[in-house]
Structure 1
Amino acid sequence: MLRITCQQASRLLSQRMEAPLGAGMRLRLRLHLFVCDACTRVARQFAAIRLAMQTLRERD
């Protein structure tokens, strides 16, 4: 089954910060984000954190 819960999506978003997800997990996450506004907001927050971390690394 392709559907995942918000809790699973949150876990995948966190894991994605450390390493790329496999194709199957990426697909499941994308499908969930397509239908879940709350998790989409969380994904945007993770993206902002990732960008801030990259910016800090570039300054060092």
Structure 2
Amino acid sequence: MKINCRQASRLISQGLDQPLSQWDHVRLRVHLWMCGNCRQFSHQLQVLRQSARQAGRGE
């Protein structure tokens, strides 16, 4: 089943906090393959998360 950008953004955020089910992971990967905007959103969240971790360690 195809997902839209709203569902993809929810899965991207959820995937940062907990592992996604195999089915959700596959659906998200297919969507990200086709959607540059969601790929960019995913990348931005990863960068923010990494920056927050570094700031928390005092780097």
After TM superposition, the score normalised by the length of structure 2 is 0.85
Match of 1:53 in 2: 52
Which residue matches 2:13?
A: 14
Alignment of 1:42 with 2:31, yes or no, is no
- Unaligned 5+ residue runs, structure 2? none
Distance in 2, Cα, partners of 1:22 & 1:55:
28
Tell me which amino acid in the other structure corresponds to 1:53. A
**TM-score of the aligned structures, taking structure 1 as reference length:** 0.83
5+ residue gaps in structure 1? none
Name the CA distance, whole Å, in 2 between partners of 1:17 and 1:35.
21
